[in-house]
Amino acid sequence: MYAFSYHKPATAQEAADLMASADEGAYLAGGMTLVPTLKQRLAAPSDVIDLTGIHGLRGIRTLDGKVKVGATTRHAEVAANEHIPVLADLAGRIGDPHVRNCGTLGGSVANSDPAADYPAAVVALDATVHTNKRAIAGDEFFKGLFETALEDGEIVTAVDFRAPSAAAYAKFPNPASRYAVVGVLVARYGDQVRVGVTGAGPCAFRAANIEAALAADFRPGAVDDVGIDYGDFNADLHASAEYRGHLVRVLAKRAVAQIGSADSG
């Protein structure tokens, strides 16, 4: 990797000030994306600003039906917390033990990798992304491939997830990386249904047509006739856009079936 200056600030304001004064700064949380990028010399920041020393950015708290997860909370910690079981299940299927014990929720959300798992939860679980400047609705956070609503230098500090009455996450993982070729999270909030999709398009999104079908008839078969527009879906050596469209329907049905099984049990 190229040489850079390393900083470990104690506050979010100090981190933001360091970023503002850097020629080309980069924030470091778990390092699961940044460190490999640096090692391969695909990035050359002048300054790396480590956020893990900032007090208050790590931990999980519950309040009024919501779960607040600090940005530097490790995937393994989320996986061990049962306040929102579907979020714990999702986190427990990220990568491998090394990734789960190093990677952070905030880093994953801020990176907006099209195949990351957490973004499906952000949009499906009616989340709010908190930063050092403001609160951003989960539905408005992801903008495109590795693109979010974050402004230059803005730091994710926590994410609030609204606990659903029932939910399930179905994922078709890459056999090597365990990234989601496609992942679908279905959540019920009374009569409302929210469906978050990751892996299929440039960024996570809600599948409004599937939501409408399930709100009218919450069973796997209700998804059979829903049209899946895969025109803008990702296509690579792992799956074509058309196949990803097929997976969206299949995984949505599996998630609904899982919820039905839990309800009947």
CATH code, domain carrying 192: 3.30.390.50
Q: What was the pLDDT predicted at 264?
A: 64
Q: What is the number of alpha carbons within 13 Å of residue 205 lying toward its C-beta?
A: 19
The answer on 108 and 158 residing in a single domain is yes
End of a domain among 119, 142, 162?
162
Positive or negative: CA dihedral 90, 31, 205, 137 = positive
Q: How confident is the model at residue 263 (pLDDT cuts 50, 70, 90)?
A: confident
User: Considering 162, 187, 206, which residue would you say is the last residue of a domain?
Assistant: 162
Residues 188 and 157 placed together within one structural domain of the fold = no
CATH of the domain at 44: 3.30.43.10
pLDDT above 70 for 211: yes
Confidence of residue 182 (pLDDT cuts 50, 70, 90): very high
Write down which residue in 117, 138, 162 finishes a domain: 162
Give yes or no: residues 65 and 30 share one domain: no
pLDDT band, very low/low/confident/very high, at 262 (cuts 50, 70, 90): confident
Residue 15's pLDDT is 98
Q: What is the mean pLDDT of the chain?
A: 96
Residues 173 and 87 in one domain: no
Residues 235 and 203 in one domain: yes
pLDDT in tens, 161-170: 999 999 999 9
Q: Is the pLDDT of residue 265 over 90?
A: no
72 and 148 in a single domain? The answer is yes
Residue 219 lies in a domain: yes
Question: What percentage of residues in the chain have a pLDDT greater than 70?
Answer: 99
Q: What is the mean pLDDT of residues 174-196?
A: 97
Indicate if 181 and 246 belong to the same structural domain: yes
Contact yes or no for 59/143 (Cβ under 8 A): no
- Looking at the predicted structure, is the pLDDT value of residue 212 above 70? yes
CATH of the domain at 92: 3.30.465.10
Please check whether residues 39 and 98 belong to one and the same domain. Answer: no
Domain for residue 55, yes or no?
no
What per-residue confidence (pLDDT) applies to 72? 98
Rounded to an integer, the average pLDDT of 194-198 is 98
Do 158 and 170 lie in one domain? The reply is no
Number of domains in the chain: 3
Q: What is the mean pLDDT of residues 98-117?
A: 97
d(CA 248, CA 110): 24
Residue 64 lies in a domain: yes
Plot region of 145 (φ>0 → left; ψ -120 to 50 → alpha; else → beta): beta
Do the domain assignments include residue 157? yes
Whether 204 and 181 map to the same domain: the answer is yes
Q: Is the model's pLDDT at 261 over the cut of 90?
A: no
Mean pLDDT of 249-254: 98
Range of the domain at 70: 60-162
- The pLDDT score that the predictor gives to residue 57 is 97
Closest by Cα among 258, 117, 132 to 196: 117
> Is 26 found in the same domain as 119?
no
Is the pLDDT confidence value at 27 over 80? Answer: yes
Transcribe 68-133 into DSSP letters.
EEETT-BHHHHHT--SSHHHHHHHHTSS-HHHHHH-BHHHHHHHT-TT-SHHHHHHHTT-EEEESS
| Residue 54 is assigned to a structural domain of this protein | no
- Does 146 lie in the same domain as 68? yes
pLDDT tens profile 119-153: 999 999 999 999 999 999 999 999 999 999 999 99
- Phi and psi angles of residue 221, each rounded to the nearest 5 degrees, phi first: -65, -20
